[in-house]
């Protein structure tokens, strides 16, 4: 029966009843059995960078496990730029969509996390309530609760570690450069054999921060909001450095690779003999998969390299928050962390405090003899902390203004 034919008193009663009904409450993170029960049958739309086959195959494996173990379906929404997902959540909020958002979980950190927190776009706190979160031993590992100097306050859950790692073809280069200044000298002596990804790619942006940390005499300013510093004065050495470096890069600095994986492809094609990745095992995995020659070796700069923890977060308007929490918790399980760290899967470092695990669980992380192209176990002990997230955006904007027109 069309609604206009209903008796007026029934129409009014129906409307009043609808107004009286409460909106669906968010799941309580500390009621884990309730979370599991609500999650079963949900589909979680996980927005995550999709630019690398190794990352994608790991997420595919995770999706299989979530379906088999918890009855939760995972759809990987592949992103080129995480900022586009942040913008989508913001647009949904501005449109009044507070309950049926299109994103349930997002791979995020740095300036994107800061933007989502500033605009109240995240659900939480939830991370500390995840049963597996305690395995990170956060009291002894503050990096799992700190994102680009900002406390996560339970609005993000860690799931992996990254750190700039250089790799080179030892058949062509006997002694690779050990700091940023030596890199310039090496590039001048080996024109066209090095490059970095075009900004705003996160690997390229991280290279800018690495260089700035080494070059500026005001590095303490990098750990405060950029608005509190003289940006031009702090960054002047960086632009002078890049002006000197660019003519000696691949294609004379008139073009840049699109991403870290594109750098790897150029190494594979023999166009570069020195490159870098934000994943320490990237070169070793590529050698194992016959993408790079056996002569490739990995190393870090003598003064240390920039590193961070990457996280997942749940948008405030996700309709499947329970499923998203189950996924975030599974990502912290020893099973998932060991699989992710395996060179046969991805090679991404674990955020768990492995020394605190029992012997049987620690055995999951044993990978046998070190691959010749892989870093020594203690090579990543000197990790440089990420600057305040506002520096990332400011550096990207300044780089695009100076060099982005080419």
Answer yes or no: is 17 within a domain: no
Report the alpha-carbon distance of residue 160 to residue 350 in Å, rounded.
Answer: 5
Instruction: Answer yes or no: do 245 and 361 share one domain.
Output: no
For residues 25 and 123, the model is more confident at 123
**Tens of pLDDT, residues 157-177:** 999 999 999 999 999 898 999
Res 405: pLDDT? 63
CB 298 within 8 A of CB 170: no
Is the pLDDT at 14 greater than 90, yes or no?
no
Instruction: Let me know whether 227 and 142 are in one domain.
Output: no
Per-residue pLDDT tens for 137-159?
999 999 999 999 999 999 999 99
- Residue 286 structural domain: 165-299+381-403
- Asked if the structure places residue 18 within a domain, the reply is no
Does a structural domain hold residue 361?
yes
Tell me, yes or no, whether 75 lies in a domain: yes
Q: What is the mean pLDDT of the chain?
A: 92
CA distance linking residue 163 with residue 165, whole number of Å? 6
With contact defined as beta carbons under 8 Å apart, do 321 and 312 qualify? no
**pLDDT reported for residue 368:** 77
In a domain, residue 1? The reply is no
**Is the domain of 69 the same as that of 154?**
yes
Mean pLDDT of 387-394: 95
Among 186, 303, 195, CA closest to 250: 195
**The pLDDT of residue 41:** 98
Q: What is the mean pLDDT of residues 113-140?
A: 97
CATH code, domain carrying 149: 3.40.190.10
What pLDDT is recorded for position 13?
A: 38
Residues 43 and 191 in one domain: no
Residue 141 shares a structural domain with residue 217: no
Number of domains in the chain: 2
Same-domain check for residues 36 and 170: no
In a shared domain, residues 156 and 171: no
Q: What pLDDT digit, counting tens, does each position of 318-343 carry? A: 999 999 999 999 999 999 999 999 99
CB atoms within 10 A of CB 362: 15
Q: Looking at the structure, do residues 249 and 386 belong to the same domain, yes or no? A: yes
Q: How do 105-108 and 43-49 pair as beta strands? A: parallel
Same domain for 56 and 150, yes or no, is yes
Q: Are residues 154 and 171 in the same domain?
A: no
Name the pairing type of β-strands 383-384 and 305-313.
Answer: parallel
Assess whether 177 and 291 both reside in one domain.
yes
Does 255 map to a domain?
yes
Per-residue model confidence as pLDDT tens digits over 295-308: 999 999 999 999 99
Phi and psi, residue 321, nearest 5°: -65, -35
326 and 342 share one domain: yes
Let me know if residue 375 belongs to a domain: no
Q: How far apart are the first and last CA of the chain?
A: 64
């Amino acid at each position: 029966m069309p609604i206009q034919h209903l008796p007026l008193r029934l129409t009014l009663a129906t409307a009043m009843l609808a107004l009286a009904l409460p909106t669906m409450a968010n799941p309580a993170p500390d009621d884990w059995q309730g979370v599991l029960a609500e999650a079963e049958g949900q589909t979680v739309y996980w927005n995550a960078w999709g630019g690398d086959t190794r990352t994608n195959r790991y997420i595919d494996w995770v999706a299989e496990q979530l379906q088999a173990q918890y009855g939760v379906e995972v759809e990987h929404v592949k992103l080129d730029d995480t900022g586009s997902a942040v913008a989508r959540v913001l647009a949904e909020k501005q449109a009044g969509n507070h309950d049926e958002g299109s994103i349930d979980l997002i791979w995020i950190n740095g300036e994107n996390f800061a933007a989502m927190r500033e605009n109240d776009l995240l659900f939480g706190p939830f991370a500390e309530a995840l049963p597996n979160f305690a395995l990170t031993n956060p009291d002894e590992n503050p990096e799992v609760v700190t994102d680009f100097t900002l406390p996560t306050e339970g609005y993000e859950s860690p799931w992996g570690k990254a750190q700039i790692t250089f790799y080179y073809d030892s058949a062509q280069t006997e002694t690779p450069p050990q700091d940023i200044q030596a890199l310039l000298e090496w590039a001048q002596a080996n024109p066209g054999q090095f490059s970095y990804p075009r900004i705003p790619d996160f690997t390229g942006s991280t290279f800018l921060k690495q260089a700035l940390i080494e070059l500026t005499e005001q590095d303490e300013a990098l750990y405060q909001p950029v608005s509190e510093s003289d940006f031009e004065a702090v960054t002047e050495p960086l632009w002078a450095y890049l002006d000197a470096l660019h003519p000696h890069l691949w294609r004379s600095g008139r073009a840049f690779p699109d991403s870290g994986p594109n750098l790897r492809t150029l190494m594979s094609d023999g166009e570069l003999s020195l490159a870098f990745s934000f994943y320490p095992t990237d070169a070793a995995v590529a050698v194992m998969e016959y993408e790079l020659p056996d002569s490739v070796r990995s190393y870090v700069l003598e003064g240390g390299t920039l590193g961070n923890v990457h996280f997942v977060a749940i948008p405030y308007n996700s309709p499947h928050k329970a499923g998203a929490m189950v996924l975030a918790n599974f990502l912290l399980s020893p099973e998932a962390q060991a699989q992710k760290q395996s060179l046969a899967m991805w090679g991404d470092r674990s955020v768990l405090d492995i020394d605190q695990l029992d012997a049987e669980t620690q055995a999951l992380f044993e990978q046998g003899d070190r691959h010749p192209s892989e870093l020594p176990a203690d090579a990543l002990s000197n990790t440089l902390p990420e600057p305040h997230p506002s520096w990332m955006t400011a550096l990207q904007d300044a780089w695009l203004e100076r060099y982005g027109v080419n």
